[in-house]
Structure 1
Amino acid sequence: MRKDKNSKGERGAAALEFALIFPLLLAIVAGITDFGIAFYNKAMVTSASREGARVASLWQPASLKPSEAELKGVVKDVLDTTLFKIGSGTIATTFDPPDPSTVPSGAYIKVTVSYAHDYLILPPIIGLLNMVTGDAFPVTVNLASSTTMRVE
């Protein structure tokens, strides 16, 4: 088997190309993973707001209607069991009207849930990008969802 005269100069070229491309491929996989987690958490925040509105809209006698604290507990329970938490993301729940126990039958109640989502893998990459662009890319993203339901 004959070797080409120019093959000596190409020794290790594949390893060099791999070394140059590997960090980019790793960043793409990290981005896909982090954005996948963020999309999942957005779906869970939507589910929690829907569950809070559902519990608030169920018909009950005025003395048995859940208080604001109890409804926030329902939302928190849903998020605690389903949310993929990274770091210390904060959860905020608001109601419109502010006191859900006073909403009459036939009226509407709106539940808004927000969660400050921290990325898992991307912060070092985002930090490098922000050094160049001047904080153009956030490390934390606010995921929010609102659900409005008619009280039975």
Structure 2
Amino acid sequence: MWRGERGQALIEFAIILPLLIFILLGIAELGWYFVIRIALSNAATTGAEFAAYEGITDPDLVEERVREAANGVKLGSGDIIVLIASYQDKKGIKPKYALVQINYTYRPLVTGNLFRRTVTIKARAIRYYPSAPETAEFEAIPQTM
């Protein structure tokens, strides 16, 4: 080893270390994003199934169930949209389907404070009530809310 080359490996490691840390944090950030996305998707499905299969028509009860199923994701007051569509038959008004949509604003842990960027995660689930006949007429399912 030459006298002028001492510490070369240390300098090379110091140069590559920030890039390596940035890549590892990016992998962790992507994993956390998908954990939240899956939790919200499961929460929307749980809420729609709760409404449809239990015959619940009160949106507040469905919203409460969605919050419980969100697995620690803090949802704001306007993040959950619950729509219970109904139809009129000879016996009265009966529910047709339940739609639950969650709009969650996600701020990345690593770059969120650096760039002040957010990502909106949308989760949506629709479940039909088993008691509703297929021939019943009802308004179209909204594509965007």
Separation (CA, whole Å) in 2 of partners of 1:51 and 1:44? 10
Query: Which one scores higher on RCO, CA 8 angstroms, separation ≥ 6?
Result: 1
Return closer, same or farther for 1:8/1:98 CA change in 2, 3 Å cut-off: farther
Q: 1:139 is matched with which residue?
A: 117
Q: Structure 1 regions of 5+ residues with no counterpart? A: 128-137
Return closer, same or farther for 1:37/1:84 CA change in 2, 3 Å cut-off: farther
Identity, in percent, stands at: 23
2:123 partner amino acid? S
- Taking structure 2 as the reference length, what is the TM-score of the superposition? 0.73
Question: Which string of whole-angstrom CA distances, capped at 9 and with x for unpartnered residues, describes residues 82-122 of structure 1?
Answer: 1356xxx64611123478xx9735x2222111211122223
> Are 1:103 and 1:109, in contact at CA under 8 Å, matched by a contact in 2?
no
Q: Structure 2 regions of 5+ residues with no counterpart? A: 87-91, 131-145
User: What RMSD, in angstroms, separates the aligned Cα atoms of the two structures?
Assistant: 2.5
Q: 2:15 is matched with which residue?
A: 20
Q: 2:30 aligns with which of 30, 35, 48?
A: 35
- Taking structure 1 as the reference length, what is the TM-score of the superposition? 0.70
> Are 1:103 and 1:151, in contact at CA under 8 Å, matched by a contact in 2?
no
Aligned residues: 124
| Bigger proportion of residues as helix | 1
Q: 2:68 is matched with which residue?
A: 77
